[in-house]
């Protein structure tokens, strides 16, 4: 099996692989640059970008001859937008090299001293200040008056955004104090987290699209063609650097920043000057801890040599100054307080603990909840019984470290025991369901505790109903989560209550009751919407077997398993009678574990189920168990009596696709993803969700990403949507 080049350590690459990887990295980084700088809409978190860039640089260091002429390591910023006039910077606006840990910072200091031929123990004062997550802006003042404002652009040439910059309160039109004749002040334009949240609230109220994060919103706001739009956005500015200066008013970094404050600029209060690396790092960690409480987003701490004479001697290495470095915070991590642990009860009764957090921005997204997985995870034990987080448990009131990996639900990485409240107690995972009071049990070998209430549990019942009406299941228009909750909340004596799926199909009948209690006279409904809902329900009285099986919400029975079962059994009767027989023959639960296997193997019905391709023991167990539960079975039987069930279309086993595994990726234009999968199944193929060595064919639409790349790495045949249709028609 081939593996992706990206997974090979830099040290293990041969020259040919390195050349290919440098090309691939250059293309990827350039696409990310374009998304970030030109469109203000990054598609990957900064941490991912940084890692790609580091990898590129590591390969270039190992294979200097292979470095591309337009290597990403030589580039600063993105392409320019053509809508603004250009301004050539008299002093280039450069970027900063990065440090990712304390040792990188020690190396930085040692490097400086070596370069300056200073002894290792000599004192070299450095400044440290937050790295503001905004966009840089250069402001040129002549005789104290603002002449122009320019964005960084590509570092050499920026965009003229003077009219927009004039609308920012922190950008003085006229300088105070005694400024030099010519001074170009540089700094960061940003938006506070509160202003960002407020702006998004207003957008939402107006029914408009909300913004992703404060940085991109600030960038988008500054680069408006209409300055009145910029003026309406609450932008702020911190000054921290300069370009051309006719007469330097100070000879240190810290002194210059003080001067900038005198001229009327906002400067960052967290800037400090330190004589030892240990003190510098201590400041870094202090800022890191305060990060969540700051009014604005920061993504690291910038260190600069304080002595401007030494800065001059140190100079630049290609795109960044040798005298400064940005110590980045670990990607996507943030500390915050765990306010509470709530338990959510799912469709299958699983009790899932959810962390309620003091809201915090992680990687540009406000996080308020995080998953805590299960009770062992909270206690500090993984699924194999091994300690996680060094065995530290998680308690309400703890200071916890939150992280996001890609787009997934936030998780908790660590707990700061030194900040644990003295009166805190270990979290007691409930042993009864918080929703219905039924016992919540953990089966042997299962890390999940489950409510045993079944349909009497309101949480399980509503989640089951929501699943039942969901898009891949019955897909009843006008009956979504909100409506399900409403109908479920009605008391027993209300004619329109819905408790189980069968009640959905008697709703119209029950609406024949008294006029006032008719659906059309209830809040949120009217004549039309009530009639539409009844019609939508009626339409789904006829349902394909696969959808029906999936809709029942049985554990382990997803869409694919539902389709596999439907294809095998073809009718509901054959499906249910085989399961009933298996349940009887196997009496799985009454048999001791050792004998169970033999008993199960001896059951022809059980064997029939588990021999269906793609179906195993756990599905068979879940099916027999669910259908043997009295209340559940009664509800299912009542439902079935009201439906017309369609058998699956016969598979064209002779097609060219018979037995093949197909993956669809990217955006498909001529069919929905569900339709594509259905087509594949009809042709006797299997549609899979991810690419593996077992994949036979990838159908890739525009925007295909990692799956396409993986398929190429595996050497899997890849076609586009048009070719797919040609082949389907021809087969
Ligand atoms: S100093 C010659 N200080 O980070 C380098 N930059 O990655 C001058 N940034 O383009 C930059 N906060 O947009 C400096 N306190 C700070 C900063 C800061 C944010 C940005 C700036 C720069 C980028 C470099």
User: Which one of 39, 53, 113, 131 is the catalytic residue?
Assistant: 131
Distance 323 CA to ligand 1 centre (A): 13
Which atom, in ligand 1's list, is nearest to the CA of 129?
Answer: 15
Asked if residue 709 lies in contact with residue 673, where contact means CB atoms within 8 angstroms, the answer is no
Averaged pLDDT in 10-residue chunks for the chain of 731 residues: 68 81 85 75 75 85 74 63 82 91 94 90 96 95 96 91 93 96 97 91 80 84 86 94 96 97 97 96 94 90 97 84 92 85 93 93 79 92 87 95 66 91 95 96 88 92 94 91 94 93 95 85 90 95 96 90 90 95 73 68 84 82 91 94 90 75 85 74 79 88 87 90 85 69
Span from the CA of 241 to the centroid of ligand 1 (angstroms):
8
Give the closest residue (by CA) to ligand 1 atom 22: 95
Q: Is the CB of 241 under 6 A from ligand 1?
A: yes
Pocket test for ligand 1, best of 188, 242, 271, 316 (most atoms within 8 A of CB): 188
For residue 403, the CA-to-ligand 1 centroid distance in Å is: 25
Atom of ligand 1 nearest to the CA of 268: 15
pLDDT at 78: 54
Environment class of residue 309 by beta-carbon count within 10 Å: exposed (0-12), middle (13-18) or buried (19+)?
exposed
Bridge partners (DSSP) of residue 486 are none
Question: What is the end-to-end Cα distance of the chain in Å, rounded?
Answer: 30
Give the DSSP per-residue string, 72-129. GGG--S-PPPTTS-EEE-SS------EE-SHHHHHHHHHHHHHHTT--TTS---EEEE
pLDDT at 1: 36
Q: How far apart are CA 537 and CA 553, in angstroms?
A: 19
Angle at 295 between CA 290 and CA 297, to 5 degrees: 75
Q: Is 270 in the pocket of ligand 1 (CB under 6 A)?
A: no
Residue 92 Cβ contacting ligand 1 at under 6 Å: no
CB contact at 8 A, 239 and 268? no
Quick check: pTM over 0.85? no
The pLDDT assigned to 103 comes to 94
Does the C-beta of 136 come closer than 6 Å to ligand 1? Answer: yes
Expressed in angstroms and rounded, the spacing between residue 238 Cα and the centre of ligand 1 is 11
Q: Which atom of ligand 1 is nearest to the CA of 320?
A: 2
Q: Is 327 in the pocket of ligand 1 (CB under 6 A)?
A: no
Query: Which neighbouring-strand residues pair with 305?
Result: 126
CB 398 within 8 A of CB 423: no
The number of beta carbons lying within 10 Å of the beta carbon of residue 566 is 24
Question: Which of 326, 327, 329 has the most ligand 1 atoms within 8 A of CB, as the residue to mutate?
Answer: 326
* Residues 636, 570 contacting (CB under 8 angstroms): no
Report the pLDDT value the prediction gives residue 200, as an integer from 0 to 100: 86
Distance 716 CA to ligand 1 centre (A): 44
> Which of 46, 94, 95, 301 should be mutated for ligand 1, with most atoms under 8 A from CB?
95
Q: Looking at residue 164, what DSSP letter applies?
A: H
Residue owning the nearest CA to atom 17 of ligand 1? 131
- Rounded to the nearest angstrom, the distance between the alpha carbon of 297 and the centre of ligand 1 is 14
- Pull the structure tokens for residue 127: 């400044």
CA of 95 to the centre of ligand 1 (A): 7
129 within ligand 1 shell (Cβ under 6 A): yes
Question: DSSP code of 330?
Answer: P
Distance 240 CA to ligand 1 centre (A): 8
Q: Which pLDDT value is given to residue 54?
A: 83
- 303 Cβ inside 6 Å of ligand 1: no
- Exposure on the CB side of residue 658, measured as CA atoms within 13 A: 8
State yes or no: is 650 an active-site residue. Answer: no
Q: Which residues contact 528 (CB under 8 A, 6 or more apart)?
A: none
* Tokens matching residue 343: 């338990």
DSSP of 182-204: EEEEEEEEE--HHHHHHHHHHHH
- Beta pairing partners, 146: 141
Distant-in-sequence, close-in-space partners of 587: CB < 8 Å, separation ≥ 6: 599
| Residue 131 CB–ligand 1 contact under 6 Å | yes
- Give dist(CA 287, CA 415) in Å, integer: 18
> Which of 50, 91, 268, 302 gets mutated to test ligand 1 (max ligand atoms within 8 A of its CB)?
302
Q: Would the CB of 187 count as within 6 Å of ligand 1?
A: no
Q: Are 349 and 463 in contact (CB under 8 A)?
A: no
């Amino acid at each position: 099996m081939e593996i992706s080049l990206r997974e090979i350590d830099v040290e293990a690459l041969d020259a040919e692989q390195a050349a290919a990887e440098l090309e691939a990295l250059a293309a990827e980084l350039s696409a990310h640059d374009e998304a970030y700088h030109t469109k203000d809409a990054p598609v990957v978190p900064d941490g991912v970008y940084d890692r790609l860039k580091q990898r590129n640089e590591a390969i270039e260091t190992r294979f200097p001859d292979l470095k591309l002429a337009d290597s990403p390591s030589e580039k600063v910023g993105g392409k320019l937008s053509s809508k603004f006039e250009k301004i050539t910077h008299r002093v280039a606006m450069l970027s900063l090299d990065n440090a990712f840990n304390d040792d990188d910072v020690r190396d930085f200091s040692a490097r400086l001293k070596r370069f300056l031929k200073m002894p290792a123990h000599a004192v070299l004062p450095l400044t440290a200040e937050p790295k503001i997550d905004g966009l840089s802006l250069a402001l040129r003042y002549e005789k104290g008056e603002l002449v122009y404002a320019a964005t960084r652009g590509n570092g050499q040439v920026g965009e003229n955004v003077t009219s927009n910059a004039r609308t920012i309160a922190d950008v003085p039109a006229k300088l105070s104090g005694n400024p030099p004749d010519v001074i170009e002040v540089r700094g960061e334009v940003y938006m506070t987290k509160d202003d960002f949240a407020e702006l998004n609230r207003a957008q939402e109220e107006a029914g408009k699209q909300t913004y992703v994060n404060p940085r991109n919103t600030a960038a988008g706001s500054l680069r408006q063609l209409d300055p009145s739009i910029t003026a309406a956005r609450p932008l702020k500015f911190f000054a921290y650097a300069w370009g051309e200066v006719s007469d330097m008013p100070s000879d240190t970094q810290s002194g210059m920043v003080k001067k900038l404050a005198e001229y009327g600029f906002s400067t960052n209060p967290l800037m400090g000057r330190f004589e030892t690396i240990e003190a510098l790092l201590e400041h870094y960690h202090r800022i890191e801890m305060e990060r969540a409480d700051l009014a604005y987003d920061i993504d690291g701490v910038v260190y600069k040599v304080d002595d401007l004479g030494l800065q001059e001697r140190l100079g630049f290495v290609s795109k960044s100054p040798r005298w400064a470095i940005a110590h980045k915070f670990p990607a996507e991590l943030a500390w915050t307080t765990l306010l509470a642990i709530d338990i959510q009860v799912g469709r299958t009764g699983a009790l899932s603990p959810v962390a309620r957090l003091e809201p915090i921005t992680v990687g540009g997204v406000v996080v308020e909840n995080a998953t805590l997985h299960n009770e062992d995870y909270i206690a500090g034990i993984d699924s194999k019984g091994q300690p996680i987080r060094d065995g530290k448990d998680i308690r309400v009131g703890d200071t916890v470290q939150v992280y996001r990996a890609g787009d997934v639900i936030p998780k908790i990485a660590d707990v700061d025991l030194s900040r644990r409240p003295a009166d805190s107690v270990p979290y007691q995972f409930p042993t009864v369901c918080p929703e219905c009071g039924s016992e919540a049990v953990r089966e042997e070998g299962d890390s999940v505790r489950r409510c045993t209430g079944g349909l009497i549990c309101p949480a399980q019942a509503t989640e089951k109903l929501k699943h039942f009406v969901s898009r891949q299941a019955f897909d009843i228009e006008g009956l979504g989560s909100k409506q399900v909750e409403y109908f479920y909340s009605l008391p027993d004596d209300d004619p329109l209550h819905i408790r189980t799926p069968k009640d959905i199909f008697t709703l119209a009948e029950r609406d024949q009751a008294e006029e006032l209690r008719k659906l059309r006279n209830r809040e949120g409904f009217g004549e039309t919407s009530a009639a539409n809902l009844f019609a939508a329900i009626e339409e789904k009285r006829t349902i394909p077997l696969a959808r029906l099986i999936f809709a029942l919400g049985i554990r382990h029975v997803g869409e694919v398993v539902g389709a596999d079962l439907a294809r095998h059994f073809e009718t509901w009767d054959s499906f249910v009678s085989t399961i009933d027989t298996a349940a009887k023959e196997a009496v799985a639960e009454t048999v001791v574990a050792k004998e169970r296997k033999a008993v199960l193997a001896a059951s022809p019905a059980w064997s029939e189920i588990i021999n269906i391709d793609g179906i195993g023991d756990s599905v068979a167990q879940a099916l027999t168990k669910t259908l043997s539960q009295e209340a559940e079975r009664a509800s299912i039987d009542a439902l079935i009596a009201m439906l017309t069930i369609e058998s699956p279309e016969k598979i064209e086993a002779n097609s060219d696709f018979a037995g093949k595994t197909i993956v669809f990726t990217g955006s498909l234009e001529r069919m929905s993803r569900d339709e594509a999968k259905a087509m594949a199944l009809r042709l006797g193929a299997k549609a899979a969700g991810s690419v593996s060595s077992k994949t036979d064919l990838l159908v890739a639409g525009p925007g295909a990403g990692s799956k396409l790349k993986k398929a190429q790495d595996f050497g899997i045949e890849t076609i586009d949507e048009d070719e797919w249709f040609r082949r389907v028609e021809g087969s």
